[in-house]
Amino acid sequence: MKRYYFLLLVSGALVTACTKLDQVPQATASREAVFSSEKGLEVYANSFYDILPDANAIIRSDEMSDYGARSQAPDFLRDGSFGPRQSSGWDWKPLRNINYFLENNNNANVPADVRTHYNALARFFRAVFYFEKVKRFGNVPWISRTMRIDDPSLFNGRDSRKVVMDSVLDDLNYAVANLRATDDKTRSLITRNVAYAFKSRICLFEGTFRKYHNTDVFAKDLGATAIDWLKEAASAADKIITGGSYSLNSGGLLSSAYRTLFISQKPVANEVILAAVVDPALGVFNDANWWWTSATYGARLSFTRDFVNTYLNIDGTPFTGKAGYETMVFADEVKNRDLRLQQTIRMGDYKRTNGGKPEVAPPVFSYTYTGYQPIKFCLDDVYFDGGSRNDNSIPMIRYAEVLLNYAEAKAELETLGEGSFSDADWAKTIGALRQRAGITGGLTAKPVAADPYLTTVYYPGLSAVLSEIRRERGIELAFEGFRFYDLMRWKLGKLLTKTWNGFYVPAIDVPMDLNGDNIMDVSFYIVEPPKEAQLKGVTYINVAEKLPKGELNPQRLSEGTKGQLIWLNNISRSWDEEKNYLYPIPEADLLMNPKLGQNPKW
């Protein structure tokens, strides 16, 4: 939280970053005043943190994912709805701010070790900045200095992915070698451990992207270097694991240990490595409840049934191995499952507080289209539901992710003939995560046979170990903003076109009890029953083929009068394997500099 205080103290006093790369920075504080003391460097460096997402950005970041049904189909997935004119993200303000700092942090009055630390901080942020650019656009210009309007390099083309990402790795290595080895208890500042954790994330992405896209124009001929990036990912994650500074939060009840990470006002410091913190004293809040519980404000994002099926039984066996799972109703299918399920969606005896009184809260169809309504970031008091009131800090990177990064990197390396992923590796990563989730079986030995459900629905042709690691990653990191780019690096963008399915409805006109309290909650109809026949407290949902005004109904049952809920199947979503793994360069920027070139097929 310290950085918020510094930002308030120096608001408007630092170097103002420029919209385009050819503008000269303006300052209201002299360069000498900023770069002649450690306090000046510290204050300036706080401006770098704007590169990181805030809490609201994190809680919205899985809006486009294969496991989430939402109010509207993303334009990115609709033919003719997205192109260079709609694209965004070609913004270089933070980079110029960082490069200006690096060029001017050379005042001999400041001790060399202090200057080195802040240079390492700047280079960490430059690496993160470029990582986000490469994820989105692929090749981009590598710029390591400030540029004036008469700079001959201003209108150069883009550099290769190899050049840019090698430079990113150089920056990361400098950061982990030179950042101070301190522990920030607020979990709001960049430390050496934070840099190692981010390095594991970035290197895993790049290694797997190069492996799975080796024959594509996006990363052609880079597959041979995938091994090097995966080794870097595993090594960085191992630094965190063996360092002993973090552990999985498993104190108290396992039925709440996972969700506590996302609803605590202060970050749970044993597991959370970096967070978007709140500070009620400074008026720093987020709007998680408003976004996740509003019928109009948020995207009404809800899990699909296909994804909920991936949660294991509590004994470690696949839920989809149960006879009759396909027609199991909601109240039954959620029983005796991985404890993270009950900490991620409304189910069972979940309660909310209204006016100080706890009330049972089943899924509400004003907020969900599938019946699998998220609670992961939501506080349980309805007071927080309207406006930016939430006072829970939102994790940005956790020890759990580092364990997953390590497991995936090691398992991918094994498939490439580099080392092995042992039972011990499984136990300290996937096994440990599942143990925290209350799962009792399969914790100490890696699987030998792939789950047929995962193979058929998600990961065809993948090894048993990698399939399970991906299962675990999806569940553990659900709604934290990883899924879209996980699919991008695995070359599985086509999963974004999957049907948005919900829980099973055995019959129309039969009210359903969603939480096992013998009180009916919802009923589905084709012909609406008379008002006088409708039960008090029951929500009635129209699943007829057409709505009263004749338009197609976006909410249907897969078999007409029974079956899985199907949402928005009347709007087509498509995926182009030669195009959609990168965003287009925005039209205005390409017109300004045609040498940038456009990404394939855009």
Enumerate residues 6+ apart whose C-beta is below 8 A from 205: 131, 135, 485, 489
Residue 289 included in any domain:
yes
In the chain, the amino acid numbered 451 is D
Query: What pLDDT is stored for residue 276 in this prediction?
Result: 98
434 found inside a domain: no
Q: 579: how many CB neighbours lie within 10 A of its CB? A: 15
Confidence grade of residue 332 (pLDDT, cut at 50, 70, 90): very high
> Which of 196, 71, 68 minimizes the C-alpha distance to 474?
68
CA distance 559 to 254: 38
Kindly report, residue by residue over 208-248, the tens digit of the pLDDT. Answer: 999 999 999 999 999 999 999 999 999 999 999 999 999 99
pLDDT reported for residue 21: 43
- The pLDDT score that the predictor gives to residue 32 is 87
pTM for the model = 0.95
pLDDT-based confidence at residue 30 (cuts at 50, 70, 90): confident
- Predicted pLDDT at 3: 54
Percentage of the chain modeled with pLDDT above 90: 93
Question: Would you place residue 24 in the very low, low, confident or very high pLDDT band (cuts 50, 70, 90)?
Answer: very low
Least confident among 263-267, 466-470, 547-551: 547-551
CB-based contacts of 287, cutoff 8 Å, min separation 6: 56, 387, 388, 389, 390
Q: Are strands 394-398 and 272-276 parallel, antiparallel or unpaired?
A: antiparallel
Check whether 200 has a pLDDT greater than 50.
Answer: yes
Mean predicted confidence (pLDDT) in 20-32: 54
Q: What integer is the mean pLDDT of 485-509?
A: 98
Please report the beta strands in 436-576, taking only residues with DSSP state E, as ranges in sequence order: 500-505, 522-525, 539-542, 555-557, 563-567
Tell me the percentage of the chain whose pLDDT exceeds 70: 95
Does residue 226 sit within a domain?
Answer: no
How far apart are alpha carbons 473 and 77 in whole angstroms?
A: 24
354 located within any domain: yes
From 284, 116, 273, 132, select the one nearest 190 (Cα to Cα).
Answer: 273
Whether the per-residue pLDDT at 424 is higher than 60: the answer is: yes
Task: Please determine, for residue 5, whether its predicted confidence score (pLDDT) is greater than 60.
Answer: no
DSSP state of 600: T
Q: How many domains does the chain fold into? A: 1
Spell out a b/e string for 271-299, using b for 16 or more CB atoms within 10 Å of the CB, else e.
bbbbbbbbbeeeebbbbbbbbbbbeeebb
Predicted pLDDT at 510: 98
Pairing mode of beta strands 539-542, 357-360: unpaired
Six-digit token pair at 290? Answer: 């408003």
Average pLDDT over residues 473-490: 98
- For residue 305, give its domain range: 275-395
Distance CA 180, CA 115 (A): 11
Alpha carbons 430 and 472: distance in angstroms, whole number: 7
Question: What digits encode the pLDDT tens for the residues 69-98?
Answer: 999 999 999 999 999 999 999 999 999 999
Q: Is residue 372 part of a domain?
A: yes
Tokens describing residue 84: 């260079």
Can you give 131-169 as a three-state secondary structure string?
HHHHHHHCCCCCCCCCCCCCCCCCCCCCCCHHHHHHHHH
Q: What is the CA radius of gyration of the chain?
A: 25
Instruction: Work out the average pLDDT over 484-494.
Output: 98
- Of 215, 234, 203, 186, whose CA–CA distance to 5 is shortest? 186
In a domain, 285, yes or no: yes
Q: What is the pLDDT of residue 2?
A: 46
Give the orientation angle of helix 226-243 with respect to helix 399-415, to 10 degrees: 140
CB atoms within 10 A of CB 333: 22
- State the average pLDDT for the chain: 94
Residue 195 has pLDDT above 60, yes or no: yes
At 29 the pLDDT is 61
At residue 548, the pLDDT reads 92
Q: What is the pLDDT of residues 274-307, one digit of tens each?
A: 999 999 999 999 999 999 999 999 999 999 999 9
Cα–Cα distance measured from residue 238 to residue 406, given in angstroms and rounded to the nearest whole number: 7
Residue 397 region, left (φ>0) first, then alpha (ψ -120 to 50), else beta? beta
- Asked whether residue 27 is assigned to any structural domain, the reply reads no
- Whether 493 maps to a domain, the answer reads no
Taking alpha carbons only, the member of 398, 437, 63 closest to residue 262 is 398
In this structure, are residues 300 and 371 in contact, taking their beta carbons and an 8 Å threshold? no
Does residue 126 carry a pLDDT above 90? Answer: yes
Report DSSP letters for 341-377, one per residue. HHTTB--TT-EEEETTEEEE----TTT-SSS--B-TT
Confidence check: pLDDT of 9 > 50:
no
